Amino acid sequence: MTAGDTQADGDAVSGLAADPVGRAPAVRPFLVTAGRVASTRAGTPMPLETQVVSTAAGIVGMERLAFERRDIVALCRQPQSLAEVAARLRLHLNVVRVLAEDLESTGDLSVYVPRSEAANDLSILRRVIDGLRTIPDFRETTP
Amino acid sequence: MTPTETAARGRAQQTADRPPLPVKLVIAGGFGVGKTTTVGSISEIAPLTTEAAITEVAAGVDDLSHTPRKTTTTVAMDFGCITIDPTLKLYLFGTPGQERFGFMWDDLVEGALGGLVIVDTRRLDDCYAAVDYFEHKQIPFVVAVNAFDGKVEHDLDQVRWALDVADQVPLVTFDARRRGSVRDALLAVLELALERAEG
C-alpha cells in the first residue's frame, strides 16, 4: 500500500462519516451476490430509475427463493425503481442490480430499462413540464 | 430496442400493470446546502436513502494532463419521486453530499433530463464541482440560490460573477422548504432542457 492509497482510504472513511446511513450490515454487501459486482452486460450499468416488477411466476414461486431474492420479489409486486428497492431493503444499489438481473434470468422479475434518448424527447419533456405545473404551491393536508 | 417507451427484457412474463417510464433530474450542490430538503418538499414519498458507488478521482480535476487514479467510494444518496401520470414518473436524485472536487456521478447522472445546482451564497465554493461537472457532461442545468431564512446575501449578478458561469446558464433564487418554489426551480431546468432539445 502506498501513501496515496492510505490517503484515499482516509477520504473514503470521512466521506462515509459525512453521510451516515446507519449501521453497517452484518453480512458484507457483496456476499449475497457471490462476489459479483454490477453487471456490465450492456456496457453501462442499469440506471437507478430502471423499473422492476415481479412476474406472476415469481410471486407464486417466491417460497423457493431465499433471503434478499425473496424480499425483492415480494417488494416488487408494485413496480418500482432499482433505487427504491435498494433503499427499502437496505441493500447496496449494485447488489440490487446484480440480484435483479439474476431474478430476471430466472423469470421471477421483469426489468424495464428506460431509453436513454428520453432526455432529448420533446414530447416527454413537455409532459413532465405540464405535469409539474399542476403541482400546487402547498401540499393538501389530507389525512 | 422496441418502439415502446420501455422494453421488457428477457423471457419474464409481464404480470402487473406496465411500469411508468422513469425520467430523472439530478439535484446537486455542496454538503448541507438543502438538497434533501428540496427533494422532500416536492416528492410524493418521504426521501429515501440508498448506498451507491461513486468514482473518486484521486488527482486534482484541474490536472487533466495526467490520467487520474480512480477509486470507488460508497456514499449515501437521497432521492424522491413525482408521478406525472400513470405512464410517466419523475425521479429526483440528490448527489452525495461531498464538498470536495473530483467526484464523478456518471452512474447517477446517465440519462438525466437536467440538473439543479443548489448554492448557498455563504459557501459558494461548495458548488463549483457540480457546475463544472454539468458543464463538462453538457447536461442542461440551472443554478438555484437557496434563500436560507428567506433572504439571499448577495444579488444574483454578484453570484454569477463569483461562480463564473456562462450567461446562458439560468440563475434563480428559491426556497428549498417551499413546494411551489421547488416546483418552479425544477421547471426552470426542464424548460432549459426543452429549449436545448428543440435546438
Report the pLDDT value the prediction gives residue B102, as an integer from 0 to 100: 47
B2 CB burial (10 A radius; 0-12, 13-18, 19+): exposed
Mean pLDDT, range B90-107, rounded to an integer: 72
Q: Is A17 contained in some domain? A: no
Cell numbers 480535476 correspond to B61
Q: Which of A80, A126, A135 sits opposite B183 (nearest CB)?
A: A135
CATH class of residue range B21-198: alpha beta
Does residue A85 form part of some domain? yes
- Asked whether residue A93 is domain-assigned, the answer is yes
Q: Indicate the number of domains in chain A.
A: 1
pLDDT tens per residue across span A52-71 = 999 999 999 999 998 999 99
Instruction: Judge whether A18 lies within some domain.
Output: no
**Sequence ranges of the domains in chain B:** 21-198
Q: Find the farthest-apart pair of alpha carbons in chain B and give their distance in angstroms, rounded.
A: 57
Q: Which residues pair with B145 in a beta bridge?
A: B119, B173
By mean pLDDT, which of A121-135, B25-39, B69-83, B127-141 is the weakest? B69-83
Is residue A115 in some structural domain? Answer: yes
Q: Answer yes or no: is A13 within a domain.
A: no
Q: Quick one: which of B48, B28, B45 has its CA closest to B96?
A: B28
Distance CA B38, CA B141 (A): 16
Nearest by CB to residue A112, choosing from B7, B49, B53, is: B7
Sheet containing strand A51-54, strands side by side: A80-81, A51-54, A109-114, B6-8
| Ranges A32-36, B160-164, B194-198: which has the least confidence | A32-36
A30 — phi, psi (to 5°)?
-90, 5
Report the residue of chain B nearest A114, measured CA to CA: B6
Is A46 a domain residue?
Answer: yes
User: Does residue A76 form part of some domain?
Assistant: yes
pLDDT tens digits for range A70-108 = 999 999 999 999 999 999 999 998 899 999 999 999 999
How do residues B63-93 score in pLDDT, each as one tens digit?
444 555 667 777 788 999 999 999 999 999 9
Q: Which residue range forms the structural domain that includes residue A42? A: 26-133
Enumerate the residues of chain B whose CB falls inside 8 A of the CB of residue A125.
Answer: 113, 190, 193-194, 197
Closest residue in A to B58 (Cα) is A8
Alpha carbon distance A69, A66 (integer Å): 6
ipTM computed for the complex: 0.83
Question: pLDDT tens, B109-142?
Answer: 888 999 999 998 888 887 888 888 898 889 999 9
Residues B99-116 as b or e (16 or more Cβ within 10 Å = b):
beebbbbebbbbbbbbbb
